[in-house]
Chains A and B, each alone.
Chain A
Amino acid sequence: MSLIRKMTLFVASFSALLLSGCGDDIKYNMREGVTEISREVYELHMIAIWVCVVIGIITFGVMFYSMFAHRKSKNPNPAKFSHSTAVEIVWTAIPFIILIALAVPAVGLLIKMEDASDSDLTIMVKGYQWKWEYKYIDGDDNLANDVRFFSNLDQASRDMSRNAGSGFSGVKIEDDNYLLEVDNPLVIPVDKKVRFLVTSDDVIHSFWVPDFSVKKDAIPGFINEVWTKVDEPGTYRGVCAELCGQDHGFMPIVVKVLPQNEYDAWYAGKVAEAEAGPDLNERTMSQLMAEGEAAYNKYCSSCHMPNGEGNGPFPSLVGTEMITGEGSLTKHIDTVINGVPGTAMQAFGSQLTEAEIAAIITYERNAWGNDTGDKVQPQEIHDIKNGGGE
């Protein structure tokens, strides 16, 4: 891991980029991707690079020649000219022509990229601070079998990032999918034109999957459309590209592209899951605590911290009024379900299952020495969400 090796790599990869142009190694160049569009984008990118490299070599070549040949020791008597209309017209016109030559393929490609008509499948993509929700628009009027789920950063990445140690001698992270893995990936069929309708619940996010050459801003209150048609089954990874708050770097996108029959089987499974309805079975205290710890670390710990003590604007949950105060349980449940308007505290009622909410609340009220002994069951949460309680 010597510095020399890094420097050599730098010089090597720089020259590789200039010399090869085809860049199999995705580490320093744009990837070609797995769609017709992404390959065309990649080609245009390479053309643009080469145009710049050639112009650069000519321009800087002339400049370096002049710096060398016209230095004072070699050329003590400077020339007197300071104007030449002919030359100036030439070097205004040539860049103009080059730019037009670049713009022509760009225009055609852009029009193709913006044409989302004739799609086979529509999926709503909704950004949240800091996760994604996917909802398959199936065209039938039955609500009970909607396929809809959230996609969060996986727990392993979360732990690694927190446990990386401090200072320059931090722990070396070696997982190739660090920060690029989620609990529930988006699943789409291969060779089908899939249209994404991108929107957001809170701030602006941006849905980016480099392998598809798809990037579209998720704007709260509006829908944006973008499409892709993937050639090869596989797992493709992207990230949120627009600054959306503290965990902007921690909301990856994973898309699994399956052959049609596997996709159909997966989709049927999801529909069956939805039809089965939420799991409202009663749980013991230790079950709630175990499920609660897992869910808390996934959804709550990035703001309230794994030790519950909060951070900056995010309040502590240890021994505070909200948790241990007299009769605070109702307020606590209401806060988790409906959020606190005007703050980063979201309304988790629509994002988490009843079981998760019950477990998180039980965990928060009994972990870190809070020890209130309060136990909340999924059924209670279900009743409150449907007009009971209060």
Chain B
Amino acid sequence: MSQEQVQNDNKVMTKKLFVVVIIMVAFGFAMVPLYDVFCQITGLNGKVNGLAVYEEQEPDTSREIKIQFMTINKGNMPWDFRPVQTEIKVHPGKEYEVLFAVKNRTGKKMIGQAIPSFSPNLTAQYFNKTECFCFNQQILAAGESEEMPMRFFVDKDIPERYDTITLAYTLHNVTPDDEQVAAK
């Protein structure tokens, strides 16, 4: 093999390896959507996207599952935020509505965003929301309060081992800085 031949082979192989590098960079970023897909299938981090549609069905009255509602404020979120009912018992396959009360106690307009999280985390995939405030941001003027509805039903095929589902909403302060400044 001549010197030139070797150098040519080296170039070709180097290029191929750089392609591998680029693919792996892409893979690194692809882990983000892959993780989301994985989470949606398993309900891992409660990010089961989208609204479900409730179809009229015979509820499974033989089972009763306790649903606990929890609210968590991020430290920098001064709103009052609480579930109106902290706990209800449901039959799988039946649709329910619960309310969450929110009040902006500050003297300025603010925007909040609630993010759900389930425990045990895999129950998220059986918990179907047909209407939820968490799909939108909440904008409340100074002193304004609101009762926000959330409608849901639990799948009939939820495994027997789950007797309690805890749904926690963490309320984040997503008010842009300039608006805070403007409010002052």
Contacts and interface: CB of A to CB of B under 8 A. Distances in A.
Query: Does A touch B (CB under 8 Å) in the complex?
Result: yes
A141 interface: yes
A143 interface: yes
A122 B68 contact: yes
A210 interface: no
A381 B73 CA distance: 20
Interface residues of A, number: 40
A77 interface: no
A137 B68 contact: yes
A177 B153 CA distance: 49
Interface stretch (B30-38, B54-62, B159-167): B159-167
A119 to B, nearest CB: 7
B91 interface: no
Contacts of A220: 74, 170
Given A126-B72, A347-B76, A387 B163 contact: no
A223 B166 contact: yes
Given A143-B82, A197-B119, A387 B70 contact: no
A224 interface: yes
B153 to A, nearest CB: 21
Interface stretch (B4-12, B14-22, B100-108, B125-133): B100-108
A185 B143 CA distance: 35
Contacts of A119: 164
A214 to B, nearest CB: 15
A221 B117 contact: yes
B161 A341 contact: no
Contacts of B86: 137-141
A341 B45 CA distance: 25
A116 B75 contact: no
Nearest to A339: B76
Interface in A264-295: none
Interface in B142-164: 142-143, 161-164
B46 A222 contact: yes
Given A199-B72, A347-B75, A387 B87 contact: no
Contacts of A138: 86
Interface string B43-71: 00110000000000000000000001010
B85 interface: yes
A117 interface: yes
B169 to A, nearest CB: 10
Contacts of B87: 139
A346 B173 CA distance: 13
A350 B166 contact: no
A139 B164 CA distance: 12
A137 B105 contact: no
Interface in A120-155: 122, 124, 126, 128, 137-141, 143
A344 B170 CA distance: 20
B178 interface: no
Given A385-B105, A387-B107, A390-B107, A222 B45 contact: yes
Interface string A218-231: 00111111000000
Interface of A: 115-119, 122, 124, 126, 128, 137-141, 143, 197, 199, 201-202, 220-225, 337-339, 341, 346-347, 349-351, 385-390
Given A225-B120, A338-B76, 17 more contacts: A117-B163, A122-B68, A124-B72, A139-B86, A197-B166, A199-B168, A221-B115, A221-B170, A222-B45, A222-B117, A223-B72, A225-B119, A339-B76, A341-B177, A346-B76, A387-B107, A388-B107
- List the 8 closest A-B pairs by CB distance, nearest first: A225-B119, A347-B76, A222-B117, A139-B87, A201-B75, A223-B168, A347-B75, A223-B117
26 contacts: A116-B120, A117-B161, A124-B70, A124-B72, A138-B86, A141-B86, A143-B82, A197-B70, A199-B168, A201-B75, A220-B74, A221-B117, A223-B70, A223-B117, A223-B118, A223-B168, A225-B166, A338-B78, A341-B76, A341-B177, A347-B75, A347-B76, A385-B78, A387-B142, A388-B107, A390-B108
